[in-house]
Structure 1
Amino acid sequence: MSKSFDASSTTDQVLDGVDLAGKRVLITGVSAGLGVETARSLAAHGAHVVGAVRDIAKARRATQRGLADAKKPGGLELIELDLASLASVRKCAEQLLAQGATFDLVIANAGIMACPFGKTVDGFEMQFGTNHLGHFVLVNRIASLMKNGSRLVNLSSAGHRFSDVDLEDPNFDRTPYNDWAAYGRSKTANILFAVEFDRRHKPNGIRATAVHPGGIQTELTRHMDSTVIQQRIEEINAQAKKAGKPPFRWKTLEQGAATTVWAAAVADADEVGGRYCEDCHVGEPLGDSEEAGMISAGVRPYALDAERAKALWVKSEAMVGERF
């Protein structure tokens, strides 16, 4: 590539000179945070964005100013989607299929983090059900709208290092619930889903990747109080100091969404296909013995394991009652 980017790069820097006129993009979760900035930056470069959200009024308020400020904005339309309800997911997919318009990019951005134990409408553990299974059904149901050259970008997290998926007890029916372990499972699932989707669709010119946006102060942290957040940062910095690495720094929204738009619209497809990206580059595999801080560089081997990805796909199909 002619340009290189890093953790400090912003969406506008990454997309500088990129013309997305005529491109259609589906993004989940454009009512706050990274989703709004991702939609704004892509629309500002000419893309037509379809935002799938639970609260349309909130999303309309959140996106209105950003699109109005864009120099050459593409369009924005909103469609209702509650990832914690498969009925809502299927209804959203049916509406998109009925419209018949294809997508160049699908960005599975929406998610929840470290919430108290709860279950989705369909009885799945809330984080796994929302972050993974909801997107699993939506993306697979609309896969026919993804044409040759299109990409799927799954928002994962460095939090995948907390835990691998548990295919024997995905809903914590027999395992004591831990909010961060549950988050880790769901974020590992986001990566494994991208790995297997990429393998299945690569022959048709469709690629998939997973990205870690970095640490950003958004609504995602609403279940954490400031004391817990500060304690977590101190733990991270202690690990970083021990490893001779710089301390943790929060990213801005523009920096956080940069890896998403880089992987979606700038990076070479063969570079990011089936991979895990962070700070606008492909993440390096970590050894199993390395410490798994919440926010540091690298990807756990289990998150890229092809056989594990296939097994998760089969388990996910069984859980949602559909074959893809």
Structure 2
Amino acid sequence: MAKTFGAESTADEVLEGINLSGKRVLVTGVSAGLGVEAARSLVAHGATVVGTARDLAKARRALAEAGNPPVDLVEVDLASLSSVRKAASDLIARAKPFDVIIANAGVMACPQGKTQDGFETQFGTNHLGHFVFINRLVPLLKSGARVVTLSSGGHQISDVDIEDPNFEHTPYQAFTAYGRSKTANILYAVALDSRLKARGVRATAVHPGGIQTELGRHLTPELIEQMMARVNRGAKSGQAPAFRFKTVPQGSATSVWAGFVAPADAVGGRYCEDCHVCEVNDDATSRVGVRSYALNLDRANALWRKSEEMVGERFSL
């Protein structure tokens, strides 16, 4: 009988009894928090892990504090497409295939700014950087491989704005920008899954839960108040349990569950949290489930086309 996991499961518990020897995994963002824990847990269960970080010295320190798991580090700044393309080319040149990619890196609710290529910081880093990086690495994905993109319950804040992704005509709000980027992460998984499932590669998006990590370094007291008010509305209405922060090991669980444990057909093109696949819920007062706009394939394909236009590169996968 299959084990049942939930909000309090940890990555090590999800992978208990699973031998990942021979599996090669790419994890973006291994300089702090969830990326470090995912890498540590995967290595502990036998996987070979390649980890990306913008600051390799910081990544080495973080991994040392996690017991120094042997992780092959690659420098990638997701806010720079030249950095992304160089790293992807270097990995392609190595010609070593991957079983799973976990797109973990990202930024949250930061002040208005632009990436090196002129994109709004959160959309450019969280979505476009991974869009180019992963798409360029598709030739390295084995049949049966999976791509796991880290999204967030924050996707419920906002759909993407394909007409104005850079807030050129819209007043900038940090959480609106974050919500757009997290919806983009889900839509990218939907579009990627539709393109690759015929060759046995599946893509899924996950919400790790609320975790106190460096991701929240830009949160001001005002933004924290906004976030908690939104979270608690669902609890007060009785539509969701009271909010509880997860530990970092618990926050890493859904990523490794979706990548290695859950049936591929169950998670492909879907959105998962607490180690289960979420149902669609369009109740704007609820924080349970996934909004239908985030799983809409037509919307996902429109975002794909807009993303290609923005980065100046077409991907025929």
- The TM-score normalised by the length of structure 2 is 0.96
How many Å apart are 1:230 and its aligned residue?
4.6
Question: Matched residues in 1 for 2:257 and 2:107: separation?
Answer: 23
Q: In 1, are the aligned partners of 2:147 and 2:203 still within 8 Å (CA)?
A: yes
For the Cα contact (< 8 Å) 1:43–1:67, is it kept in 2? no
**SS at 1:159 equivalent:** helix
Other structure's SS at 1:239 match: helix
Residue type at the aligned position of 2:196: H
- The structure 2 residue matched to 1:103, chosen from 85, 93, 98, is 98
Identity %: 63
2:8 — aligned with what?
8
Q: Which residue of 2 aligns with 1:34?
A: 34
Deviation by residue 1:284-319 (Cα, 9 ceiling, x = unmatched): 1012x4325xxx320000000010001110110000
Aligned-partner SS, 2:132: helix
Structure 1 position 313 matched with structure 2 position 299: no
Correspondence list, 1:115-126, <5 A:
115-126=110-121
- Whether the aligned pair in 2 keeps the contact of 1:211 and 1:276 (CA below 8 Å) is yes
4+ residue segments displaced more than 4 Å? none
Aligned mate of 2:285, from 276, 279, 291: 291
- In structure 1, the partner of 2:134 is 139
Identify which of 129, 146, 156 aligns with 1:151: 146
Deviates more, 1:237-246 or 1:135-144: 237-246
Secondary structure in structure 2 of the residue aligned to 1:51: strand
Shift of 1:234: 4.1
Paired with 1:95 and 1:259, the residues of 2 have a C-alpha distance of 29
Query: 1:243, CA displacement in angstroms?
Result: 2.5
Please report how far the alpha carbon of residue 67 of structure 1 lies from its aligned counterpart in structure 2 after TM superposition: 4.2
Aligned to 2:197, which of 197, 202, 222? 202
Q: Please, which of 242, 258, 261 is the counterpart of residue 263 of structure 1?
A: 258
Shift of 1:64: 2.1
Within 2, Cα distance between the matches of 1:135 and 1:141? 10
**Which residue, out of 227, 233, 238, partners 1:238?**
233
Q: Which runs of 5+ in 1 are unaligned?
A: none
Distance in 2 of aligned mates of 1:235 and 1:323: 38
Which residue, out of 268, 273, 281, partners 1:278?
273
- Calculate the aligned-residue CA RMSD, in Å: 1.3
Instruction: Give per-residue Cα distances to partners, 1:73-93, cap 9 Å, x unaligned.
Output: 6x4110000000000000000
Taking the TM superposition and a 5 Å limit, the aligned residue runs for 1:51-130 are 51-68=51-68, 75-130=70-125
- Structure 1 length-normalised TM: 0.94
Counterparts of 1:167 and 1:238, CA distance in 2: 29
Separation in 1, partners of 2:8, 2:266:
21
Instruction: Determine the C-alpha separation between the residues in 1 that align with 2:211 and 2:256.
Output: 16
Q: Which amino acid aligns with 2:234?
A: Q
Contact 1:84 1:134 survives alignment (8 Å): yes
1:79-131: CA deviation from partner (whole Å, max 9, x where unpaired): 00000000000000010011110000101100000111000000000000000
How many residues get paired?
Answer: 315
In structure 2, the partner of 1:221 is 216
Structure 2 residues not aligned, in runs of 5+: none
Distance 1:231 1:86 in 2: 32
Shift of 1:227: 5.5
Match of 1:323 in 2: 314
Q: Contact 2:28–2:53 at 8 Å: present in 1 too?
A: yes
